[in-house]
Each structure stands twice: as structure tokens, then as C-alpha cells.
Structure 1
Amino acid sequence: MEKKEVSMAELFFDLVFVYVLSTINQTVQHISQSLVSFESLGKNLVLFLVFYSIWVYHTLLINRFFEQKWYQYVFLFTDMFLILCLSKAINSNFQETFIPFASITGCIYVSLMVQYFLNHMLIRHRLSNRLIRVYLVGLGLTIIFFILGLVLPKNINFWFFLIGIIIAVSSPGVCWKASKQNPVFFSHLTERLSLFMIILFGEGIVQIVPTIKLSNFNVLDVVYFVLIVSMFIIYSFHYKGSLDQEKTDDSGLITIYIHLFIIYATNMVFLIMHKCI
């Protein structure tokens, strides 16, 4: 399998997602006066899964199909704008902005669905029809549950939206055998994930800056800085030592789902740090 490098457009795209994670933290940290409440944890997780599922579908799409064609860039930047709009609908009170949030999320999934179908039809590719059907069905079911959530009463609409998100997150892993038979460009996937983590760690460092006061030194600033640097070093060793980037027959799903927990846990650490500051 030929090697595929991460493009500048992908890095540009990932900057938006790291910004969104920061926005989620800023939103949910005001839910409770306690350090971390079950409500803030739950809402943080739901919002995180929404954006992470979008990122996963987009990353797998680019990994397998991106050939720097003009229409691919149009979709990429359109999705980026929609994600920025979606970030403005993030609210600690879900029902207050539920309609715009669910609507924009649905539009992004429709865009992804169209892109998978369009790229599969226009680009001669080794991917099987079975794998494409898995993605299209997963995205289609997600969109259906979003639509139901938009038309149902307030007391149950969120649960249909949540079911849609769970379907979206789990769909890539449902057809494991088909994914295994259609491996990703693993070096590209691991590089993309590692660069995302670097941007995330950078965002964590930036969050410390407003709290530093030269006239009133706080030892916690040093502690937080050392903590983030330590996490970065640990991840660097994990990336270099645990990930075989030369794999040519990997579906990438295990790596993706492991990073779901890594990114969420890292983001939660930043949330707690920001709450303490």
C-alpha cells in the first residue's frame, strides 16, 4: 500500500475541532459549582461524541478517498463552516438550542453521506460496496433519528438524538470484517491522530496563560504546566513505541476507539484544570 501524508487542509480542519472541544469545556464548566458533576460529565460526553463521530467519519473519508480534487475541497471547507456554526449552538441547556444543534448536525451527516457515495462512484477504489453500505446505512439511520428528534416533543426529542449519535459512533465498528478487508492508510491515520493530540495539548497549554500573574505567582500554574507536558511526553512514547505505523492490513478501528478515550480523558483533565483555576 502506498504511503499517504496528512495534508495542510486536514490540519486546518482539525484546528476547528480542538477549538470546539475548548468551547464545550467552557460551556459545561458553569453547570455546577462542584468540581465535576454528573450533569456536566454527561453533557460533556454527549457533545464530545457528536463532534468526535463527525471527525471519525471525516477522517476515514479523507484517509480512503482524498485525492485533492476540487469538489473534495469544497465539501471539506463547507463542513468546516458548518462545524463552526454548530459550535455556536453548544449550550448547557440542551433544549434551548436543540433545534439548530440537531439541524446543523444532521446537515453535516447528510454532507458526509453524499461524500461517501460520490467519492465511491467517482474514484476507482479498492473499497468494497459492503463497507460503503455500512457507512451509508449508519449515517442514514443517524439522520432519521435526528429528524425524529426534531419533530417529537421536548421531553423525548433528546433521547432520539442521543440514539442517533450512538449509532453514528458505533457504526464504523459494526462491520469489523468488512473494515478489515478494506484497510486504511494506517500511517496516515496515526499521523492524523498524533497531530490532533499535539494541537489538543497546545490548547491545554494556552488555557494556562490567562491565569499566570507575574505579580502574584501561583505554584498551581507550574503544576498544570508540568502535568500537560508529562501527558504529552507519555503520548509521544505511546505513538513511537506502541503504534506500528507500517501496518498495511489494519482497519484502524481499534486505534480510533482507543483515541476516543484518550482524547476524551485528556479533555476532561483540561476541564477539571480550568475549573480549578
Structure 2
Amino acid sequence: MPASERIPARPVTATAEAVELLTHGELTVRGRIREASNAVLFCSVALDGVRADCVYKPVAGERPLWDFPDGTLAEREVAAYEVARATGWDLVPPTVLRDGPHGEGMCQLWIETVPQDEAPELLALVDTEEPGEGWKAVGFAEVGEGRTALLVHADDPRLRRLAVLDAVINNSDRKGGHLLPAPGDKLYGIDHGVTFHVEDKLRTLLWGWAGEPLTAEAVEVLNGLARDLGDGAPLAARLAELLTPAEVDAVRERVAELLRSGVHPVPNGSWPAIPWPPV
């Protein structure tokens, strides 16, 4: 057993500490997450007597996609984290780009979720025409034998913030399985490899607020992002290291459009609005 594996893992709560650990720590592969479509490795990372669990997605393990350039998913995951961090909403686990046992890849802090029987219900299928109190309707879904049910998600401020973030980063794959309820009433979104396309490709299960006015909090955050994306601003400079100039410009345009419209976006009709499979 490597010496780093003998160090007990402990929760890493400070963002700066997590980024330092993920960037410079000794990365040890412990297993593979088989359900993922790309290579996703469960690892530990250790530095100066501190060890934590993490996910490592090497670029070499990415499957080619027709609408995203080969070998760019890791950078997009890191870019999503950088934008999320700039919002101040703490919606994406600390994520870095680094070298590892299988070459360069994305490395993200592992999130321990709350037990399933204690987790808040965020998504549901209901046999009604309208969502109940505390729920938002997404649309009707086939559930077999010619039956349909209404897909709903919780009217939860954390989900609403995530819907705004997804609109900014143009997330084309916000599935239910990408929502991680964590201790301390936290909620994280993961798997942001198919983001930042220059075309509108927003696909999500969080359409419940479509067309509704943005919250005052969201408007304030979007104004902050607009400043952070200005020429020479730190976030703009960081995204320029991870995305193409056209993709960075598209982020600016999406933020500006959200501020101009003042509402949550609606499906554009030219692209499937809900990812498949949805979970």
C-alpha cells in the first residue's frame, strides 16, 4: 500500500485547500466507476498529511462526440467549476486540470452524499395534471403501457440557482443523477463535460421556471459575472485558457441575454429540451 493510502481521508471543506490538494497532491487510482460513458476513475489524493477522495477523468478516456471537439471535455468541466465559483453559489465541487496516472485530465473532489432515505426529494413523476404545492412542472413523460405521468422537480432555491448556472454554461446534459444532495443542506451539480457550446444546446430537467422572472439574487449574480467576464478580468482570462475565444464570447452573450430578458430561458424548439436518459 502506498504511503499516501495510509493517511486517513478527511472532509476538506475550504475551497482553497481542496484546490491545492487536487492540483498538487499524489493521485492514486483506487477503482473505476463503470456506469459512466467516459473513463471515470475513483481516486485518492494526498498532500502534506492530508488525503481526500476524488474523481479523475483522463482526456485519453473521453469518447468522441459529434458536436464537441475531441479531447475538450475535461477543460469544460473545469470551466464550469470556475464559473460556478464566480457566482459564489458553491454548486460545483472543486475541480482542476492536472496530470495523472493516465495523462492530463479533470480531477474533482468526491462528494459524500446524504443517505438515500434522508435525501430531499428533488424529482418525481406524478399522476396529476398539475404539480402540487412546492413543485414545478417540467412536462409529461411516457411511463409504459400507453400511460403518461407529469415530471416535476422541487421548487427549491438551490435547484433554481443551478438552473441559472446551467443557462450560463449552456449545459446540454442536466440529468437527475447529476444532482448530489450533501450534508449541511448543500446541493452539488456534477458532470459538466458537454457545456459551453456556441450554439444553444440547453437540455435539462430543471425547466420548471422557464419564462418566469429571475430572482433579484440571480440578477445580482449575473451582473457580477458580466463584470468578471470583461476584457482582462480574472474569470475571462481563466476561461480563455480552457475554451475557445468564440466559446468565451458566447458565455458573455448568454449572461447579457439573461440580463436583457430578465427571465429564465425557455426551450428553443430546435434541440431536445430534456436529456436522455433523464436520470
Q: Which has the higher strand share?
A: 2
Task: Please say whether Structure 1 and Structure 2 have the same fold, judged by a TM-score greater than 0.5.
Answer: no
Q: Which has the higher helix share?
A: 1
Normalising by structure 1, what TM-score? 0.28
Normalising by structure 2, what TM-score? 0.28
